[in-house]
Chains A and B, each alone.
Chain A
Amino acid sequence: MNSPGGNREKDRRLYGVGGLLLAGMGILLAGLWYVQVVTALNYVQDQETQSMRTVRIPAVRGSILDANGRPLAYDRPMYVVNAYLEELRHHFRQEWKRNRPKGTMTREDRGALEIAVRYLVVSNFTAQLNLDQPIDVTPRKMQAHFLGQRALPLPVINNLSETNIARFIENSWKVPGLEVEVVAKRSYPSLSVAHIVGHLKRDNSDLDESVRYNYRLPDYTGKLGLEKTFDGYLRGQPGVRSVLVNNLGYRQSDYIPVPPQPGSNVVLTLDLEIQEAAMKALNETEGKGAAAVVIDVNSGDVVAMASIPVFDPNQFTPGISHQLWNSYLAARPSPLIFRATQERYPPGSIFKIITGLAALEHGLNPTNQIYSAGYYRVGRRRIEDTAAPGHYDFKRAFKKSSNTYFIHHTLEEGRGIKPIINIGQQLFLGQRTGLLPGQEAKEQFPTMAQVNQGWSDGDTANIAIGQGPITVTPLQMALVTATVANGGTVYHPRLVDRIESPDPNLQPHALRFPKGKKRGQLIVRPENLAIIRDAMRADVADDDGTGKRARIEGYEVCGKTGTAEVRSPSEGRYKITWFASFAPFKNPRYAVVVMVERGVSGGRTCAPAARKIYEALIERDKKTGLARN
C-alpha cells in the first residue's frame, strides 16, 4: 500500500515517539528514586514531626527507707479514671448534633457549646459508673486539656477509693473511653521524720534537658530535706512515650521507646521505731517546741532525730494550698523549723560537761571541796545558783549543777576561758556538722580572737555555765556526749547508710557511706573523761541528782540536765531545758539529747522524755540481741 521509504520514515517517527514515552517513564523513575531513596530521610522526619508527640514520663521516685527497710517516703500507686478523648470523639459529635440549635451560630456560641457538649459527655459517662466520688475536672480545665494535650488521656477522677475501683470494674463495660490507671503518689507514712525526709515540689522545668518534649507529665523535685539532698539519686531517669496522632491530633496508638529508669532507694541509719518513740516522748512533755537526738556513740550513726511541731509532707503533692502554707508560716512555734539542727539554743548547764573537763585537764582535783554561798559575784553582778549553799566537790557540784563551783574553778586559780575554747574547738563547737545541708544552723562559740578584744570575767562566767555568746544544736550536744561516752573519738554524724538500686539483683553494688568516719580526736586524759562519765552516772543514779527522773532499773543511764534562760524582746523570758545523756554506763552505746523549749527544768521536763527513749532503745537492742553485752 505504502512505499517502503514512507514506512521507514514512519517507523522512525514511531520510534521517536516511543522513545519519548519511555524516556518520560525514566524521568518518573529517577524522580521517585530521588524522593524515596535519596531524600527519604527528610520526609520520614517530616512525617514524624507531624504525627508523633513525645511525652516525658517521670520515673518512679526511689524510696527513703529506715535502717530496717521500713518506708519513710515512697511512691504509692494511686488510681485515676482517665478519659480517652479519641474514643469519646464519636460521642462528642453525636451529642453536638443533638444540641445544635437551628439556624446559624456565632463563632463564640459555637465554641461555648462545643465545650459544654464535651463536658456533658464526659460527666454523663462518669455518672453511669455509679461511683460516689465526684469528677475532678471543670469544663475550663477540660477545654485547656483538649486544646493543649489532646493526644493525652484526661484525668477525670483522681485518687479513686478501693470501693470505687471495684465499682468501676463492675460498670466499665457500660461506657466507652474511660479507663482506670495507676499513677504514683508520693506518700509519707510517718510524720515523725517529716523534717529529715523533707517534701517535694512540682517541677516542670526543662532547663537541663537536651530532648524537647511535646508534653510533660507532672514531675516533682525535692524541695527540702533528704528529698532535696538526694534528688539526683531518688529521681531516676525519665522515659519517653511516643504517641501517634491523626491529622486532628487525636491519639491513635503509643509505644514507649525509652522506658523510665526508677530512682534509687536511700537507706538511712535511722530506726523508725525509735524515731516514733522519741516523737511520742516529746509530745508528752509540756513544751510546744522540742527536739530529741539519738546517736550511736561508737559510730556517730543517727538512730533518731525528732522535732516538734511537724508539718505534713503529704500535703505538698500535687501542690500545697495557699491557706495551709500560710498557716504553716504563721504558726508559732513554727512547724517548718527542724529543731534538732536548725535552731540555736544556749546549752545552759549541760555545757558544764565541757567546763568540767577543761578544769580537770588543768589541774582541778575533783575531791577538793569549796564552799558555795548559793550565788557567785563577778564584779557587781550576782549570778544566782539553783544549788543550795554548802560544800561541793566535783561530783556533787556536777549532779546538783552548782554554778558557783564551775564558775569558781574557771575564774579562780588562773584557768580562764582558754581551756574551754580549746576543748570546744576539739569538739567542733561553732561549726556545722554538715549532716543536713540547708537545714543546719551555725552554732556560736567564742574564738580566741574574740576573747583577745574586750573580754570580761563576766563573759567567762557566762560561758562556764553555758550562757552568753554560745549556742548549740541538740545534734551538736549529742555528738559531744557521744565523744565523752566513747572515750574521746569525735565522729562525723551519719544519717544515710547507702543508696541502692530498687532492683534486688543490683543491691550489692549499692553506694555506701562509710560507718564511723572520724572527724577528730579529743586530746584529754582518759581518767578525766571517766570522772565526767562517773559524775553523769551519779546525776541520774543518785537520789539527789537532777537527772534522777531518767533512771531505769537495770540500765545505767548517765546524764546532765540543763536549764537556760532566754530573754527575747517579743516573747519575754522563758527556759530552754536540756537533758544530755548516754547509756549504758559500761560499754556505752547510745547518746540521747532532749531539748524542750519552755520546759520547767531539764530534770523535770527532759529527763523523763529521755527515759522513754531509752526504754524504746532497750526494746530495740533486745530484738537485735545486742542487750546481752
Chain B
Amino acid sequence: MTFGILFVYSATYNNDLFASASWLRQPHIKQIIFYGAGIGIAFIICLKEYNLLARWSYVFYWLSIVSLVLVLIPGIGSVRYGARRWFDLGFTQFQPSEMMKVAFILAMAQFLSRPRGELKDSAVLFKGLGLAALPFVLILLEPDLGSSLMIPPTALAMMYLAGAPKSFIKKLIGGIALFAVIILSYVFFVPKDWKPIQLPDYQKRRLMVYFGADYAKQYAGPGATRAEIRQARAMQQQDSYNVVQAMISVGSGGLTGRGWKQGIQNIYGYLPRGVAHNDFIFSVIAEESGFVGSTLVILLYGTIIVVGIRTARRSRDRLGKLLAMGVVTMLFCHVFVNIGMNIRLVPVTGLPLPLLSSGGSSVVCSLMTLGLLQNVRLHQKTI
C-alpha cells in the first residue's frame, strides 16, 4: 500500500519535474535514475527485519558523522552556493547531511528503545541529546541551517514518544524556545557591528525578509545618507526576490493552475533557475496545477504520515514505533518548512521537499527512510 502511494507519487511528480526541467533535459532523467536507486535500496532495506538493521545503526551513525567531518575539510568537500555540503563523485554529487538524517533516525530509535526505566536516568537522556546535538552542530557548520534544524524536532518527538519524563521534555522545549528568542532578538535588536557572535549574514537577512523588517533601518541606521538607504532597499528587494516570486507563482496558480508546462513564472525565468527544480519545486507544482494540485500533494504526504502513525501504533516493539515516528516526523518537518516557505509561513531556508525536489541524495535518502517505514510495517506482528 505504501508502495502504491510511492509510485503514484513518483508518477505525478515526475511530470511536474519534467515541466520544471524542460529547459534542461538532464535533471528529470537523473531523477528517474535516483528513484530507481532509492526504491532498490528501500527494497533491500525491507529484506531484513528492522531490528537486525538497527544493530548496525551505530556503525552507520558514526560513518555518517565521519563523512560530515570530512566534507568540512577543504579539498574533499566541494563548495556550491558558498556552502561546503557536497562530495563530488564525478557523475553526481553526494550530500552527507541527507545520509545523516537517516542514520540519525536509526541510531536514535535504537538508543531510545532501551527499557523505559533507563530513560528516567538523566545521564541516558543527556546521552540521547548528545546523539542529536552532534549532527546538528556538524550540519550547521557546513553551513546548512535548514537541514540541521530538522534534527531537534525529530529528536524531541522521538524522546517524547519513547517515554522520557514530562518534566524533561518541558525543559527541553523551554530551552529550544529560549534559544530561538535569543536568536531573533539578536537579529533584530543588536547593532550589526556587534562582533562577539556572528550569525551568517544571509541567515540574518532571510529572517528579516520573513518578518518583513525594513532593511533601511537595520543596515543604514538612523543617520544614513539617501544613497545608503537606497542601497539597503535594493538589497532588500534582491533578498526577497525568491520569496516574492515563489508567492506570485503559488498565488497565480489559482484554483486549477495554468496547466502542465505552462507555468509562466517558471518558463520565463522569474523563478530563479537555480532553485526552481529543487528547493522551490513546490511553487512550480502550485503554479502549474493550482490549489487542486497542491492539495493533492499535501494529501499524499498526509497519507504517508497517517500510514506511518498507524504503523507506529501497530508495531510490535518500541524500536519499530520510534523508527516509524522518527521517519514520519522528519518527513513532516521537511514538508512543512519547504511548503511553508513557498507561502511565507516560515522563513526561507535551503531545504528539499522530500521525494519531489530534484537532488540525488535527498531522493535516495527519503526513499531509504520510507523503506524503513515499510520494513516496520512488513515485520509488525499482530498483537
Residues of A within 8 A of B268 (CB): 51, 244-247, 252
Q: A36: which of B251, B306, B317 is its contact (CB, 8 Å)?
A: B251
| Closest A residue to B157 using CB positions | A17
Q: Are B161 and A40 in contact (CB under 8 A)?
A: no
User: How many angstroms between the C-alpha atoms of A214 and B269 in the bound complex?
Assistant: 21
Measured CB to CB, the nearest residue on chain A to B340 is A28
CB-CB under 8 A from B265, the residues of chain A are 47, 51
A36→B267 CA distance, assembly (Å): 19
Measured CA separation A244–B248 after assembly (Å): 16
Please determine whether B313 and A24 come into contact, CB atoms closer than 8 angstroms: no
Cα–Cα, bound, A247→B290 (Å): 22
| B305 and A21 contacting across the interface, CB-CB below 8 Å | yes
**Size class of the A contact interface (CB-based, 8 Å):** 35 or more
- Segment of B3-11, B47-55, B324-332 in the binding face: B324-332
B306, A51: Cβ atoms closer than 8 Å: no
Within 1-39 of A, Cβ neighbours of B (below 8 Å) are at 1-2, 6, 9-11, 13-14, 17-18, 21-22, 24-25, 27-29, 31-37, 39
Decide: B313 and A25 in contact? CB cutoff 8 A. no
* CB <8 Å contact, B339 and A40: no
Chain B residues positioned under 8 Å from A42 (CB to CB): 251
Knowing A22-B302, A47-B248, say if A32 contacts B291 (CB, 8 Å). Answer: yes
> Looking at the complex, which one of B247, B270, B317, B321 makes contact with A35 (CB distance below 8 Å)?
B247
| Distance between Cα atoms of A25 and B160 in the complex (Å) | 20
- Interface residue from A25, A34, A252 paired with B302 (Cβ < 8 Å): A25
The digit string for A229-253, where 1 denotes a CB below 8 A from any CB of B, is 0000000000000001111100010
**B328-367 toward A: CB 8 Å interface, digit per residue (1/0)?**
1100100110011001010000000000000000000000
Interface status of A284 (Cβ within 8 A of chain B): no
Asked if residues A43 and B286 are in contact (CB atoms below 8 Å), the reply is: no
- The contact string, 1 if C-beta is below 8 Å from chain A, for chain B 269-299, is 1100000000000000010001100110010
Nearest CB of chain B from residue A20's CB, rounded to whole Å: 8
B294 in complex: contacting residue of A17, A36, A244, A252, CB < 8 Å: A36
Contacts of A28 in B (CB 8 A): 298, 335-336, 339-340, 345
C-alpha gap A551/B357 in the complex (Å):
98
Q: Given that A17-B157, A29-B298 are contacting pairs, would A36 and B290 also be in contact in the complex, using a CB cutoff of 8 Å?
A: yes
A17 to chain B, nearest CB (A): 5
Closest to B270 in A: A247
Residues of A within 8 A of B294 (CB): 32, 36
Q: How far is the CA of A246 from the CA of B271 in the complex (A)?
A: 10
B349 to chain A, nearest CB (A): 16
Chain B contact residue count (CB 8 A cutoff): 45
Secondary structure of the A side of the interface?
Answer: helix
| B301 partner residues in chain A, CB cutoff 8 A | 25
Q: Give A26 Cβ to nearest chain B Cβ, in Å.
A: 9
Complex contact A14–B335 (CB within 8 A): no
Q: Which of A6, A24, A46 contacts B332 (CB 8 A)?
A: A24
Q: How far is the CA of A28 from the CA of B344 in the complex (A)?
A: 11
B77 at the interface (CB under 8 A from A): no
Q: Does B255 contact A (CB under 8 A)?
A: yes
Closest Cβ of chain B: how far from A10's Cβ, in Å? 6
Q: Which residues of A contact B69 (CB under 8 A)?
A: none
Of B249, B253, B329, chain A has the most CB atoms within 10 Å of the CB of B253
Instruction: Please tell me if the beta carbons of A6 and B251 are within 8 angstroms of each other in the complex.
Output: no
Q: Nearest Cβ in chain A — how far from B381, in angstroms?
A: 12
Q: Quick one: which of A29, A36, A252 contacts B254, CB cutoff 8 A?
A: A36
B312 in the interface, Cβ–Cβ < 8 Å? yes
User: Is A386 located at the chain interface by the 8 A CB criterion?
Assistant: no
Q: Does B252 interact with chain A (Cβ within 8 Å)?
A: yes
B116–A40 CB distance below 8 A = no
Is there an interface contact between B332 and A31, defined as CB atoms closer than 8 Å?
no
A506 CB–B CB distance under 8 Å = no
Contact A248-B248, Cβ < 8 Å, known A32-B295, A35-B343:
no
> Contact: A11 with B313, CB < 8 Å?
yes
Does chain A have a CB within 8 A of B309?
yes
Q: Does B128 contact A (CB under 8 A)?
A: no
Once A14-B313, A17-B325, A35-B343 are accepted as A-B contacts, the answer to whether A46 and B305 lie under 8 Å apart by CB is no
- Residue A147 interfacial (CB < 8 Å): no
Q: Is the CB of A246 within 8 A of B269?
A: yes
- B286: which of A6, A14, A18, A36 is its contact (CB, 8 Å)? A36
Annotate A35-58 by CB proximity to B: 1 below 8 A, 0 otherwise. 111011011101100110000000
Q: Say yes or no: A43 contacts B248, CB within 8 Å.
A: yes
Whether the pair A32, B343 counts as a contact (CB closer than 8 A) is yes
A19 to chain B, nearest CB (A): 9
Q: Are A14 and B298 in contact (CB under 8 A)?
A: no
Contact A51 B264 (CB under 8 A): yes
Structural contact, B305 and A40, CB atoms closer than 8 A = no
Sample of 8 further A-B pairs with CB below 8 A, known A6-B116, A22-B306, A35-B247: A18-B312, A22-B302, A25-B305, A43-B248, A44-B254, A47-B252, A246-B268, A247-B268
Residues in chain B within 8 A of chain A (CB atoms): 116, 157, 160-161, 163, 247-255, 264-265, 267-270, 286, 290-291, 294-295, 298, 301-302, 305-306, 309, 312-313, 317, 321, 325, 328-329, 332, 335-336, 339-340, 343, 345
- List A residues at the B interface (Cβ < 8 Å): 1-2, 6, 9-11, 13-14, 17-18, 21-22, 24-25, 27-29, 31-37, 39-40, 42-44, 46-47, 50-51, 244-248, 252
Nearest 10 pairs between A and B by C-beta?
A43-B251, A246-B268, A18-B309, A36-B291, A47-B252, A247-B269, A40-B254, A43-B252, A44-B252, A21-B332
